[in-house]
């Protein structure tokens, strides 16, 4: 079945770049997404990439997709304390499947 995996924790210093990685199993995925969840809140869509693209940039966010390796990454440039949250990778073919989330801690 479909499965999405992520490392559970990432810690960076304010001002550094963060890179959050994700692997997925369904090669038929049409879109891949990154969502952000802050404490006590629902998920907020950050960005998405179509499966025939290999890169997408949106302000401080860069998404890289290696379709051959089924690997997706999210790079956050100039990470701020407000970026501290849980980041979920998700794939969609017929249904959305979410990873377990990566908790990003930004240290001052």
Q: 10-46 burial, b for 16+ CB within 10 Å, e for fewer? A: bebeeeeebebbbbbebeebeebbbbbeeeeeebeeb
Residues near other proteins, by CB under 8 A: 4, 8, 30-31, 33, 35, 40-45, 48, 50, 88, 90, 92, 95-101
Question: Which of 14, 31 has the CB closer to other proteins?
Answer: 31
Nearest residue (CB) to other proteins, 74 versus 97: 97
Q: For residues 36 and 70, which CB has a smaller minimum distance to other proteins in the complex?
A: 36
Side-by-side strand order, sheet with 4-6: 4-6, 18-24, 71-76, 61-66, 55-58
Q: Which is nearer to other proteins, 14 or 103 (CB)?
A: 103
CA 71, 20, 47, 63 torsion: positive or negative?
A: negative
Q: Min. distance of Cβ 88 from other proteins in angstroms?
A: 5
Shortest distance, CB of residue 50 to other proteins, whole angstroms?
7
């Amino acid at each position: 079945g479909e499965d999405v995996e992520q490392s559970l924790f990432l810690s960076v210093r304010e001002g550094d770049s963060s890179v959050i990685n994700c692997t997925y199993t369904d090669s038929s995925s049409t879109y891949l997404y990154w969502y952000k969840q802050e404490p006590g809140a629902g998920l907020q869509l950050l960005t998405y990439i179509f499966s025939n693209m290999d890169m997408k940039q949106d302000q401080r966010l860069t998404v890289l997709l290696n379709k051959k390796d089924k690997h997706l990454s999210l790079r956050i440039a100039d990470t701020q304390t407000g970026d501290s949250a849980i980041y979920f990778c998700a794939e969609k073919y017929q249904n959305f499947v979410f990873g377990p989330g990566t908790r990003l801690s930004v240290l001052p």
